[in-house]
Amino acid sequence: MSKIIKTEAIVLSKLNYGETSSIVSLFTKEYGKLSAMLKGGRNPKSKISLIVDPINYLEVIFYNNPSRDLQILSSADFKSNFHKIKEDLDKLKYAHSVIELVKNLSVEHEANKKLFIGIIRILGLINEGKENPGITFGRFFLFFLKELGYEFQSDINNNENITINSELFLYLNCLKKNESAGNVSPAIINGAITFFENYLRFHVSDFKGLQSLNMFKEKY
């Protein structure tokens, strides 16, 4: 039997389904990651179709049936659409990388309020743009690794056959301590993200790297 659920959610992805509907992946505050059908979601005149879009932070109502893999989304309202992110390709690249990590590596139907709050916070910071979005994303990547159970250790290069130079090492520790990174070169910012990708790949064999970063390189 279905239960009507009202909760907050971040839209992770949206795919066409059939001739008129969409399948959306949501990360919700109380129920973790789940998939839902949005009937009429391909109708360009549908208000809910415009609201339910990747990166948007919403309040949603859906019919939840534990015996069903696909829930039915019935209502959605904006809490934030992070509009400044969508006006800046660099911000957009890192915002998509945030939701890609969550979509691909979080466990289905496993609530994690700390992670949910962290996602909202980091998207808000990227949206505000007070620091380079690559640095902000690096902070989230570290937080996400810890939530997965793979917290970055200061002696990682000694233990896991991953070598880093002193400048990168200092930057990584600034991120870990949540300190100001100051003026950091793009090479160091990108090097840190590559390091985190390799670190995660070392622990999770199915992880193949962040496709969002490559996609934006190819397109732009």
User: Any idea which fold 83-219 has?
Assistant: de novo design (two linked rop proteins) (1.20.1440)
The reply to whether 3-80 and 83-219 are identical in fold is no
pLDDT of residue 41: 81
Beta bridge partners, 7, equal: 60
Domain 3-80: give its CATH architecture.
Answer: Beta Barrel (2.40)
Q: Is 12 helix (H, G, I), strand (E, B) or coil?
A: strand
**Alpha-carbon distance values, 207 to 23, 65, 200, 201, 211 (Å):** 23, 30, 7, 5, 10
What residue ranges do the domains of the chain occupy? Answer: 3-80, 83-219
pLDDT for 158 beyond 80 = no
Give the per-residue pLDDT at 45. 78
Q: Enter the pTM of the model.
A: 0.90
Q: Residue 159 — very low, low, confident or very high, per pLDDT cuts 50/70/90?
A: very low
Q: What's residue 75's pLDDT? A: 94
Residues of the chain with pLDDT > 70, as a percent, come to: 92
**Cα dist from 7 to 56, 117, 166, 184, whole Å:** 14, 13, 45, 39
Residue 220: what pLDDT? 47
Find the mean pLDDT for residues 30-46.
Answer: 89
What is d(CA 5, CA 60) in angstroms, rounded to the nearest whole number? 8
* 153 has a pLDDT exceeding 80: no
- pLDDT for 217: 62
199 vs 125: which has the higher pLDDT: 125
Alpha-carbon distances, residue 59 vs 29, 119, 130 (angstroms): 10, 15, 27
Cα 197 to chain center, whole Å?
14
